[in-house]
């Protein structure tokens, strides 16, 4: 099962992008086909099932919140297989850490139909925008104004961490161009959390 790609911090100003609110959670992947529905799950790095704690808790949330609607969409699109990527997050989630005593949520962030690759943002929004997906906070080219608004946490629709910018497919990778911009407040909190460990800071930022 394909893992979700790593998202660079290198900003592209030459690309028309959609800036999605970056939910601060953990990546969960789920594989679907016409015969089995959702039948295989994993975190970014390993396979899981409902007995795998703590991230197995995401599986019933995916089934309850999305399986019926996604199955109908996939059949309408005539897709026999699809890989979905979700963010598993809660009110106290930060930098991959979660308070599982509080209610967790699951949000669809990307879809990869079999042999088609991850959908570009225009397709993703058109097909899945009526479901719970991250809010689109901006569309257009990255400007100094957008960058400053994200850094200062004043961009409308953005929560705490920042945004993920997504554009058309890169000619070399055949994947949507993606990069992230994070708020100063989130990065300051991360630096405090890392307590001087620069390697950890770079890994998590």
Average pLDDT over every residue of 99-126 = 94
Q: Rounded to 5, what percent of the chain is helix, strand, coil?
A: 25, 30, 40
Average pLDDT over every residue of 162-167 = 98
Residue pLDDT, tens place only, 15-52: 999 999 999 999 999 999 999 999 999 999 899 998 98
User: Is 6 part of any domain?
Assistant: no
pLDDT band at 198 (very low <50, low <70, confident <90, very high): very high
CB 104 within 8 A of CB 89: yes
Distance CA 77, CA 39 (A): 19
User: Is 11 part of any domain?
Assistant: no
The domain total for the chain is 1
Percentage of the chain modeled with pLDDT above 70: 100
CA-closest candidate to residue 86, choices 114, 57, 115 = 57
User: Is 125 part of any domain?
Assistant: yes
Task: Note the pTM of the prediction, 2 decimals.
Answer: 0.94
User: Is 151 part of any domain?
Assistant: yes
CA-closest candidate to residue 22, choices 100, 151, 124, 134 = 134
Give the structural domain span for 121: 17-204
- What's the token pair of residue 108? 């669809």
Residue pLDDT, tens place only, 57-74: 999 999 999 999 999 999
Predicted local confidence at residue 172, as pLDDT? 76
Average pLDDT over every residue of 171-189 = 92
Distance CA 72, CA 81 (A): 13
What CATH code is carried by the domain that includes residue 40? Answer: 3.30.470.30
32 vs 66, 95, 110, 197, CA distance in Å? 12, 28, 14, 39
pLDDT at 96 over 90: no
User: Is 200 part of any domain?
Assistant: yes
User: Is 7 part of any domain?
Assistant: no
Predicted local confidence at residue 18, as pLDDT? 98
- What's the token pair of residue 40? 């295989």
User: Is 12 part of any domain?
Assistant: no
Distance CA 187, CA 204 (A): 10
């Amino acid at each position: 099962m394909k893992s979700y790609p790593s998202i660079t911090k290198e900003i592209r100003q030459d690309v028309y992008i959609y800036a999605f609110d970056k939910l601060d959670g953990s990546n969960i992947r789920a594989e679907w086909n016409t015969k089995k529905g959702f039948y295989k799950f994993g975190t970014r790095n390993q396979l899981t099932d409902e007995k795998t704690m703590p991230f197995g808790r995401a599986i019933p949330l995916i089934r309850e919140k999305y399986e019926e609607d996604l199955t109908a969409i996939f059949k309408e699109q005539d897709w026999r297989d699809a890989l979905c990527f979700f963010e598993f997050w809660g009110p106290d989630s930060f930098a991959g850490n979660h308070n599982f005593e509080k209610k967790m949520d699951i949000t669809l962030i990307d879809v990869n139909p079999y042999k088609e690759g991850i959908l570009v943002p225009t397709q993703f929004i058109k097909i899945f925008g009526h479901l719970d997906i991250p809010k689109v906070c901006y569309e257009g080219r990255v400007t100094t104004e957008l960058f400053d608004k994200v850094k200062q946490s004043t961009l409308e629709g953005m929560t705490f961490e920042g945004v993920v910018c997504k554009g058309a497919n890169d000619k070399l990778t055949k994947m949507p161009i993606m990069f992230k911009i994070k708020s100063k407040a989130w990065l300051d909190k991360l630096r405090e959390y890392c307590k001087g460990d620069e390697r950890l800071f770079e890994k998590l930022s």
